[in-house]
Amino acid sequence: MARAVNQPVMSKAKKKSLMKRSIPIYIMALPGLLYLFINNYMPMPGIVLAFKNYNAKKGIYGSPWAGFKNFKYLFATSDAFIITRNTICYNLVFILVNTFFAIFVAIILSELTSKWKKAYQSVILLPYLLSAVIISYLVFAFLSPENGFINNSILKPLGREAVSWYQKQEYWPFILVFVNLWKGIGYSCIIYLSTIIGFDRGYYEAAAIDGATKWQQITHITLPLLRPTIIMLTLMAVGRIFYSDFGLFYQVPQNSGALLPVTNTIDTYVYRGLLELGDISMSAAAGVYQSMVGFVLVLGANLLVRKLDPDSALF
Amino acid sequence: MNNKNIRSERRFQIFGNIVMIIISLCAVIPLILMVISSFTDNDALIRDGYSFTPHKWSVYAYTYIFSSGNSVPHAYMISIVLTLVGTAVGLTITTLLAYALSRRFLPGRGVLTFIVFFTMLFNGGLVPTYINYTTVFGIKNTFLALLVPSLMLNAFNVLMMKSYFVTGIPDEIMEAAYIDGANEFQAFFRVALPLAKPIVATIALFIGIGYWNDWMNGYIYLTKRTDLYSVQNLLNRMIQNIQALTQNASTVSQATQGLATIPSVSVRMAMAVVGVLPIVIVYPFIQNNFVKGITLGGVKG
């Protein structure tokens, strides 16, 4: 029966039986497609909101047009620059730092013979399963100005003055990079580790016979073999550089106003515009800016990936 | 292997274990601090701050949380029901859609796959989504607000599962089922689904953890019905109240007064422990599937 599909000309009876077979399959697909329609496709035309003066009574489509006014306002403020800079710069640093440490840990894990290997892997993956709210509590336990571990148990014994962590901008780029690494390293490490495990052990055995040290094996075998994976994953991450982890930038700094210049990203800006400031048009404009540039970046990254390695491309 | 190699190997093993022990400690130390703090006497906490070596232990925080009239057990129930219902529905529609997309003979399969895939490339963003759900569907301040938006099904899971159905289940086995007279539903339930158990378990996990950890839906859509708050929402509101009090209070005494009315420092950490507990308990059992899922999806993700 399956062969019938491949035949260029189908008889009427075969067409009929194919339809009969397909109907149950369409029924199976329906609930999922309906969900995507409601959750993803229905909001899509709503991006016109960015070109309108939103009036809640008239709805998205009834509100009067505003042309590019919302965008003009958005880019006239310093916010547009700050949120773009923060989103892109944090993501770039995240990619660099996480990739470096993930490969470092993955190589060590792949070479270890100890029975603890599995336990290490499990433990470093655990933070990945925690919600942003829980993570903000954990960070708070260390950084709380009154009760925090750092102020009370490290700075005090050293005779240093307590720091109001949630008011001081200068520390947060480091804190956020660290928290992001802490949360994400287990995840990226697993991907690299599974790639390394797939390598042909013959290379390593041959190198060992030739007297190569561990370090030489890593730099001359593992890393070169890992290169395509590193490039692919990095490109994929670069494609998502316009999107930020909302929980990380909103929850972990506890929405502290004093920290906004270093914690505000496009996602947190859109959220605040919509639900805290009620500036829906501006928020929508920032959202469209993100969707459009994000779309172009994903397409571009994928185009590059497809040139380098068609099998890894998303499409 | 010569001596030099054996020595270098041994040195590497020692170095590697030390590094991994340090990194593993970094991963769990914040959690340990949280657990110890939750068992610390509140006065000791206020005096010494959160500490690994408290001067006085106490289980007061937990008796407080589970005492009657407290919102924690209620929020816990909401989280459990939400996770169970969400995972059941989400997993069902994800599996059915993925299976449908894996059927090679299906007319329009390419178009349907693209419809699913396109949602990974482009989205309307938060504002239109919010307006859609609140005005068209009116789910604000209902349980559906926790359940429906964004968490139930995503293209990534569907496509991952679809490729498992395509590569992991041989055509011959399916054909044999058809020859035995099975219809499409029977072939799916009796043949394809049992063979796809590993991926079904993995996706169930992804969806379940997504629901348990979600705080955004409640935060955005539950503006009045705080009785529908999940554990995450409750935790979130608590930390916000503290924030608001310390920032807005004009005098120190005002702040102290305000802080006295909301759960004390140890209770806060106890609540966080309670929020993490289910994940830590099931983690040993799920981690193999979880790792498998990351490996499958990773290179494409």
Chain B positions in Cβ-Cβ contact with residue A57 (cut-off 8 Å): none
Distance from C-alpha of A53 to C-alpha of A258, rounded to nearest angstrom: 30
pLDDT tens for residues B172-184? 888 888 888 888 8
pLDDT at A215 over 60: yes
Kindly state whether residue A34 falls inside one of the protein's structural domains: no
Kindly state whether residue A75 falls inside one of the protein's structural domains: yes
> What's the pLDDT score for residue B218?
94
CB contact under 8 A, A122 and B287: yes
Question: Which tokens sit at A222?
Answer: 């593992």
pLDDT at B297 over 80: no
* Rg (chain B; Cα; Å): 25
Asked whether A269 and B106 are in contact (CB, 8 A), the reply is no
How many other CB atoms sit within 10 Å of the CB of residue B267?
20
Average pLDDT over residues A125-138: 94
Asked whether B196 and B168 are in contact (CB, 8 A), the reply is yes
Pick from B24, B188, B280: CB nearest A124: B24
Which band of pLDDT confidence, cut at 50, 70 and 90, is reported for residue A9? low
Pick from B27, B216, B280: CB nearest A182: B27
Distance from C-alpha of A267 to C-alpha of A285, rounded to nearest angstrom: 12
Asked whether A270 and A290 are in contact (CB, 8 A), the reply is yes
Which band of pLDDT confidence, cut at 50, 70 and 90, is reported for residue B249? low
Q: Hey, which residues 29-88 in chain B have their CB within 8 Å of chain A?
A: 30-31, 33-34, 37, 45-46, 48-52
Kindly state whether residue A18 falls inside one of the protein's structural domains: no
Chain A positions in Cβ-Cβ contact with residue B46 (cut-off 8 Å): 146-147
Distance from C-alpha of A231 to C-alpha of A211, rounded to nearest angstrom: 30
pLDDT tens for residues B25-84? 999 999 999 999 999 988 888 888 898 988 889 888 888 888 766 788 889 999 999 999
Helices B71-102 & B231-248 angle (0-180, nearest 10): 130
Chain B positions in Cβ-Cβ contact with residue A274 (cut-off 8 Å): 126-127, 130
Pick from A40, A186, A270: CB nearest B127: A270
CA distance B196 to chain A (A): 16
Average pLDDT over residues A1-8: 47
Residue B109: which of B123, B125, B97, B124 has the closest Cα? B97
Question: Which tokens sit at B109?
Answer: 């399969």
CB contact under 8 A, A32 and B97: yes
Chain A positions in Cβ-Cβ contact with residue B75 (cut-off 8 Å): none
pLDDT at A2 over 50: no
Q: Classify the C-alpha dihedral A276-A166-A265-B142 as positive or negative.
A: negative
- Which stretch of B171-175, B272-276, B277-281 has the lowest confidence by average pLDDT? B171-175
pLDDT at A1 over 50: no
Which band of pLDDT confidence, cut at 50, 70 and 90, is reported for residue A184? very high
Domain boundaries along the sequence of chain B? 69-262
pLDDT tens for residues B208-225? 999 999 999 999 999 998
Kindly state whether residue A61 falls inside one of the protein's structural domains: no
Which band of pLDDT confidence, cut at 50, 70 and 90, is reported for residue B10? confident
Kindly state whether residue A189 falls inside one of the protein's structural domains: yes
pLDDT at A232 over 50: yes
Distance from C-alpha of A31 to C-alpha of A288, rounded to nearest angstrom: 28
Kindly state whether residue A190 falls inside one of the protein's structural domains: yes
Helix (H, G, I), strand (E, B) or coil at B219: helix
Which residues, in sequence order, are CB contacts of A98 under 8 Å at separation 6+?
A: A180, A181, A184, A185, A188
> What's the pLDDT score for residue B300?
46
Pick from A25, A187, A233: CB nearest B103: A25
The average confidence (pLDDT) of chain A is: 89
The CATH number of residue A74's host domain is 1.10.3720.10
- Which stretch of A15-19, B127-131, B263-267 has the lowest confidence by average pLDDT? B263-267
Which residues, in sequence order, are CB contacts of B160 under 8 Å at separation 6+?
A: B98, B199, B203, B293, B296, B297, B300
CA distance B227 to chain A (A): 19
Locate tokens 């990739």: which residue?
A99
Comparison of pLDDT for B264 and A275, the residue scoring more: A275
Asked whether B266 and B40 are in contact (CB, 8 A), the reply is yes
Which residues, in sequence order, are CB contacts of A119 under 8 Å at separation 6+?
A: B24
Q: Hey, which residues 49-88 in chain A have their CB within 8 Å of chain B?
A: 49, 59-60
Question: Which tokens sit at B147?
Answer: 């359940």
| pTM of the predicted structure, to 2 decimals | 0.89
Comparison of pLDDT for A70 and B301, the residue scoring more: A70
pLDDT at A300 over 70: yes
Q: What is the CATH number of domain B69-262?
A: 1.10.3720.10
CB contact under 8 A, A190 and B294: yes
Residue B297: which of B197, B84, B154 has the closest Cα? B154
CA distance B50 to chain A (A): 5
Domain coverage including residue A137:
69-312
Interface residue B298 vs chain A (CB under 8 A): yes
> What's the pLDDT score for residue B210?
95
Question: Which tokens sit at B26?
Answer: 């970094």
**Degrees to nearest 5, angle at CA B211 with B210 and B217:** 105
- Phi-psi group of B49: left, alpha or beta (phi > 0 → left; psi -120 to 50 → alpha; rest → beta): left
Q: What total number of domains does chain A contain?
A: 1
Kindly state whether residue A84 falls inside one of the protein's structural domains: yes
Cα–Cα separations (whole angstroms), residue B228 to B130, B147, B222, B234? 18, 11, 8, 10
Q: If you count residue pairs, one on A and one on B, with CB atoms under 8 Å apart, how many are there?
A: 315
Asked whether A108 and B19 are in contact (CB, 8 A), the reply is yes
Query: Is the ipTM value over 0.85, yes or no?
Result: yes
| Number of residues written out for chain B | 301
In chain B, the residue whose alpha carbon lies closest to the alpha carbon of A134 is: B272
Average pLDDT over residues B124-129: 91
Helix (H, G, I), strand (E, B) or coil at B107: coil
Mutate to test the interface with A, among B123, B127, B150, B207 (most CBs of A within 10 A): B127
Average pLDDT over residues A91-98: 96
Kindly state whether residue A188 falls inside one of the protein's structural domains: yes
Q: What distance lies between CA A272 and its chain's CA centroid?
A: 20
Chain B positions in Cβ-Cβ contact with residue A209 (cut-off 8 Å): 1
> What's the pLDDT score for residue B247?
59
Chain B positions in Cβ-Cβ contact with residue A4 (cut-off 8 Å): 105
